[in-house]
Structures are given as structure tokens and as C-alpha cells.
């Protein structure tokens, strides 16, 4: 059982939000399927502008599927529910429309295009309007990318590749950043570098959802935590509440 610090959630009625103010991003009772497999089962939550949210849970809890549903990828298929960003209804969009609306998904596999340099990867990210940061600003913020801009992107170190995929998102008109397992497969010293990158995203005030198996690392950066279990929300609250709640961490996060 979760103690009283946890927020029990009723589908379609997110709790634990400030009494005033309109959420910047809202997920309302979404249900998604991979074919006949019912994978996201009535997830609801709100995010306010500039918040970083850690979306947590054990393997198979539905975290990545929730991110992919938000990004409006073809799979999983959203069959019921609503997704709103800055007054726009994402639930009626396809992935390319959601990207134009400001949703940028950074997948676990990064999807850096082989055979292209760092700069060519950035150029491709700005083929479609609307554009975000100019390259000069990106290179100022990520000086290592400036040094490597003529290098084939897939030959860079893991931390440098992660810089690039975040930079690609910034090169678009970014309103909501979705990070899927940004620390996956990286050595501890590289994880520290990625933490610096994500902390920089927080300093920029970018509204962000992080899915990360390394729950402790994600919670250190996050303002808020949402925990999924059996593909449903079982907790919403501050990141500090989770870090301070040993019972909750043990039951749902194994930390």
C-alpha cells in the first residue's frame, strides 16, 4: 500500500495541481493499443509551463508507450482520450503535425542519420517549418557540437550524440520535450555529462517529460513525478515526495 504522501488518481481527473492557473499540457484519460494489446490504460495528468516531469515505473509499465502516444506516433494507436498543448488538441494530429505544434520526441535509439555530419543532421531538422534556435545559438550552447560539426554524427561518443539529439529538438519550434531513456547504455561518467545537458534544458525553462529507468537520476532533475504501474497512473506528486518515500520507491521503482 502507498502511504498518504501518494496521490491516488481517478481516470480523467488529475490531482495534485495548483489551485490556480491553466496547465500548459494535459493528458486526459488516454487509451492506446498496439494492435489488440491494450497498453496505455486511462492515463491522465497535467503539466505547467517550464516543469520537468519524471515519468517513472518498472519495465512494462507503459512509460515509453505513453510518450509515443503523446508524440502521436502511428504506434501505439490512440483510441480514446484527449491530449492538449498550449490550447492545441494534439489527439487529432499525426506525428508530423504534433512536431510542428512543438512536440519533440528524443527516442532511446536517438535515430541519428548515418553518413551525415553533425551539421547536416541539424540542417535536416529544420527542413520543415517552424524553425527554432539558429545554429549559432546551438553551437554557443553546445560548443562540443561546434567542434564536431563536420564529423560524421554516428562516430561521436554517446554523450555527444545525446547533445546532438537535444540540439535537433531545439532547432525546431520546441514547446514540449519528450526524453526517452536519455541515460540508457551510457557509462556513469557519461551519465554525469547527460545530466548536465538535461539540467541545462531545465534552466532554459523548457517543459519536459523524462522517461528514465534510472529513477534516482531523473528525480534529482525533476519538479514533479508521475509513476505508472500496470499501465495506469498510481502516483502524482513532487519529485521530492518520491525521493523521501522509501515504501513508494520500493514498491514501484525498485530503488
C-alpha 4/C-alpha 68 separation (Å) is 31
Q: What b/e readout covers 1-34, taking b as 16+ CB neighbours within 10 angstroms?
A: ebeeebbebebeebebbeeeeebbbbbbbbbbbe
- Mean pLDDT in residue range 239-247: 93
DSSP character for 177?
E
- Mean pLDDT for all residues in the chain: 87
Residue 33 has pLDDT above 50, yes or no: yes
CA angle 11, 13, 19 (to 5 degrees): 155
10 pLDDT tier (thresholds 50, 70, 90) = very low
pLDDT tens for each residue of 69-123: 999 999 999 999 999 999 999 999 999 999 999 999 988 777 898 999 999 999 9
Residue 14 has pLDDT above 80, yes or no: no
3-state secondary structure of 138: helix
Q: Which residue has the higher pLDDT, 16 or 218?
A: 218
3-state secondary structure of 227: strand
C-alpha 160/C-alpha 108 separation (Å) is 14
Q: Which pLDDT does position 204 carry in this prediction? A: 84
Question: What's the predicted TM-score (pTM) here?
Answer: 0.85
Q: Which pLDDT does position 108 carry in this prediction? A: 77
pLDDT tens for each residue of 113-149: 899 999 999 999 888 888 889 999 999 988 999 999 9
17 pLDDT tier (thresholds 50, 70, 90) = very low
Q: What b/e readout covers 176-187, taking b as 16+ CB neighbours within 10 angstroms?
A: bbbbbbbbbebe
Residue 5 has pLDDT above 60, yes or no: no
For the domain covering 1-102+221-255, report its CATH number. Answer: 3.40.50.300
255 pLDDT tier (thresholds 50, 70, 90) = low
Q: Which residue has the higher pLDDT, 82 or 203?
A: 82
Q: Which residue has the higher pLDDT, 188 or 46?
A: 46
Q: Which pLDDT does position 7 carry in this prediction? A: 44
19 pLDDT tier (thresholds 50, 70, 90) = very low
Amino acid at each position: 500500500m502507498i502511504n498518504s504522501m501518494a496521490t491516488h488518481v481517478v481516470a480523467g481527473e488529475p490531482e495534485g495541481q495548483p489551485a490556480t492557473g491553466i496547465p500548459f499540457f494535459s493528458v486526459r484519460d488516454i487509451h492506446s493499443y498496439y494492435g489488440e494489446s491494450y497498453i496505455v490504460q486511462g492515463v491522465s495528468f497535467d503539466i505547467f509551463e517550464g516543469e520537468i516531469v519524471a515519468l517513472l515505473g518498472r519495465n512494462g509499465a507503459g512509460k515509453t508507450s505513453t510518450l509515443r502516444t503523446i508524440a502521436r506516433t502511428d504506434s501505439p494507436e490512440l483510441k480514446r482520450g484527449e491530449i492538449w498543448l498550449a490550447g492545441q488538441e494534439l489527439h487529432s494530429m499525426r506525428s508530423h503535425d504534433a512536431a510542428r505544434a512543438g512536440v519533440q520526441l528524443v527516442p532511446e535509439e536517438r535515430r541519428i542519420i548515418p553518413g551525415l555530419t553533425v551539421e547536416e543532421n541539424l540542417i535536416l531538422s529544420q527542413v520543415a517549418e517552424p524553425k527554432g534556435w539558429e545554429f549559432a545559438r546551438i553551437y554557443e550552447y553546445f560548443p562540443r557540437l561546434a567542434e564536431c560539426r563536420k564529423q560524421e554524427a554516428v562516430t561521436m561518443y554517446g554523450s555527444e550524440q545525446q547533445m546532438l539529439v537535444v540540439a535537433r529538438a531545439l532547432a525546431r519550434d520546441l514547446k514540449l520535450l519528450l526524453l526517452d531513456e536519455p541515460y540508457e547504455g551510457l557509462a556513469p561518467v557519461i551519465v554525469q555529462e547527460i545530466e548536465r545537458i538535461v539540467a541545462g534544458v531545465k534552466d532554459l525553462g523548457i517543459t519536459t517529460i523524462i522517461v528514465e529507468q534510472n529513477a534516482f537520476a531523473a528525480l534529482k532533475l525533476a519538479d514533479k513525478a508521475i509513476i505508472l504501474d500496470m499501465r495506469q497512473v498510481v502516483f502524482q506528486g513532487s519529485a521530492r515526495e518520491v525521493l523521501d518515500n522509501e515504501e513508494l520507491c520500493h514498491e514501484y521503482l525498485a530503488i
